[in-house]
Amino acid sequence: MADSIPLVLVQGPVTVSEAVSDFLRHCRARGLSRSTVTLNEGVLSRLIEQAGELRLEHLSQKHLQSFLLQVSKGRKPSTVQRYYNALRAFGKHLRSLGYPDPAEGLPRPKAPKPVVEPLAQQEVEAMVAACPDTPLGRRDRLVLLLLVDCGLRASELAALRLDDVDTSERVLLVRCGKGGKPRRVPFGQTVAEALEDWLAVRGNVEAPQLIVNCYGQGVDRYRIGHIVRQAAERAGIRRRVGPHRLRHTCAISYLRAGGDVFTLQRILGHADLTMTRRYTEVADTDVQEKHRLYSPADRLSVPSKTRKRVL
């Protein structure tokens, strides 16, 4: 009789600590951005400190409420909301493994919606004009124009490769979008000219990235942020300016010029219209202010009070 083959059972996570490790592996396997994985890891490592050895079936909503209450002390509401989002994602993962979701029905912490304040056109023009006429100055000019014309995230621009740029069609292929979703983003004539100026001085470096440093090496998103802040400083802009503010500026300028929210959603790479609608609210406010200034009826030479009808 042949030797029997022992049956090996694959056991899933049992404790909260084991489940967190499994969840983080799942996040990496899904191709989530490094910042998202790092954020989830930071949040859930604090949860492990409180309930790491607790068995999953004993992890309840009360545990998570207590955890949120503790981490909310001394932190901004927006930070607490990020903690909440990480817990919801973790709970969803537990549900996929067949465990109860302790985050289901967990009340969302209240946080005021951040006000989206774009840069004025004059401020963007001043930043672009402040870039010196040097090889790196041409690079910085291109960085600013790509951010404000295409609404790219800093990480997307840093990862952009030379062969992702179609100069004939004036389209960028963004391979490393949020959630690993690629998209095609058009660019205008001004960017095309800045791109030509940069490529003329970029040289034949080994790095495949479009944006490189003075050593011919690709840059990361932090360097992109430094380029933007330096340009704002040179232009004399005192408020905080980063790549994401230029992304906001792109979105609102696009809507002000008559663009529609559905096309904007595809350009920015939003998964849904939630964020895009916030830009629309700002654009709607602009419409109200403009109408108050240029109301056609208010510019007529008619009495301010309604006349009585003559029967």
Give 26-60 pLDDT, tens digit per residue.
988 887 878 888 989 999 998 888 887 888 888 88
Known active-site residue 270: yes
77 and 130 both lie in a single domain? no
Q: Does residue 109 lie within any of the structural domains?
A: no
Q: Does residue 74 lie within any of the structural domains?
A: yes
Quick one: CA dihedral 146, 149, 155, 161, positive or negative?
negative
Q: Which residues pair with 209 in a beta bridge?
A: 161
Quick one: CA dihedral 202, 206, 209, 214, positive or negative?
negative
Active-site annotation holder among 83, 84, 254, 279? 279
Q: Does residue 230 lie within any of the structural domains?
A: yes
Q: What is the pLDDT along the chain (311 residues), one digit of tens a residue?
A: 444 433 333 456 788 899 999 999 998 888 787 888 898 999 999 888 888 788 888 888 988 988 888 888 878 887 888 889 999 999 999 999 888 899 998 888 876 666 668 899 999 999 999 999 999 999 999 999 999 999 999 999 999 999 999 999 999 999 877 666 789 999 999 999 999 999 999 988 889 999 999 999 999 999 999 999 999 999 999 999 999 999 999 988 888 888 888 888 888 887 766 666 667 666 665 556 656 666 666 666 656 554 444 44
129 and 82 both lie in a single domain? no
Q: Which residues pair with 184 in a beta bridge?
A: 173
Question: What's the CATH code of the domain at 60?
Answer: 1.10.150
Q: What distances in angstroms separate CA 179 from CA 80, 145, 163, 257, one per listed residue?
A: 22, 24, 22, 29
Looking at residue 114, what is its pLDDT? 63
For the stretch 133-177, pLDDT in tens is 999 999 999 999 999 999 999 999 999 999 999 999 999 999 877
Looking at residue 8, what is its pLDDT? 34
Q: Does residue 233 lie within any of the structural domains?
A: yes
Looking at residue 281, what is its pLDDT? 66
Q: What CA–CA distance (Å, rounded) separates 85 from 40?
A: 9
Mean pLDDT of the chain: 84
Q: What CA–CA distance (Å, rounded) separates 123 from 111?
A: 30
Looking at residue 160, what is its pLDDT? 95
Question: What's the CATH code of the domain at 127?
Answer: 1.10.443.10
82 and 132 both lie in a single domain? no
278 and 170 both lie in a single domain? yes
Known active-site residue 248: no
182 and 252 both lie in a single domain? yes
Looking at residue 185, what is its pLDDT? 93
- Domain total for the chain? 2
Q: Does residue 3 lie within any of the structural domains?
A: no
CA nearest 89: which of 47, 49, 118, 51?
A: 47
Active-site annotation holder among 139, 178, 245, 248? 178
Q: Does residue 116 lie within any of the structural domains?
A: no
79 and 156 both lie in a single domain? no
Q: Does residue 130 lie within any of the structural domains?
A: yes
Q: Does residue 209 lie within any of the structural domains?
A: yes
138 and 212 both lie in a single domain? yes
Q: At a CB cut-off of 8 Å and minimum separation 6, what does 174 contact?
A: 152, 156, 160, 164, 182, 183, 184, 185, 269
**276 is in which domain, residue-wise?**
121-294
78 and 180 both lie in a single domain? no
Which DSSP string do the residues of the chain spell out, in sequence order?
Answer: -PPPPPPPP-----BHHHHHHHHHHHHHHTT--HHHHHHHHHHHHHHHHHHTTSBGGG--HHHHHHHHHHHTTTS-HHHHHHHHHHHHHHHHHHHHTTS--TTTTPPPPP-PPPP--PPPHHHHHHHHHTS-SSHHHHHHHHHHHHHHHH---HHHHHH-BGGGEETTTTEEEE-S-GGG--EEEE--HHHHHHHHHHHHHH-S-S--BSSB-TTS-B--HHHHHHHHHHHHHHTT--S---HHHHHHHHHHHHHHTT--HHHHHHHHT-SSSHHHHHHHHHHHHHHHHHHHHH-TTTTS---SSPPPPP-
Active-site annotation holder among 141, 247, 248, 254? 247
Known active-site residue 279: yes
Q: At a CB cut-off of 8 Å and minimum separation 6, what does 116 contact?
A: 248, 252, 278, 279, 282
89 and 138 both lie in a single domain? no
Is the Cβ–Cβ distance between 55 and 14 less than 8 Å? yes
Known active-site residue 244: yes
Active-site annotation holder among 82, 93, 153, 248? 153
Active-site annotation holder among 26, 221, 229, 244? 244
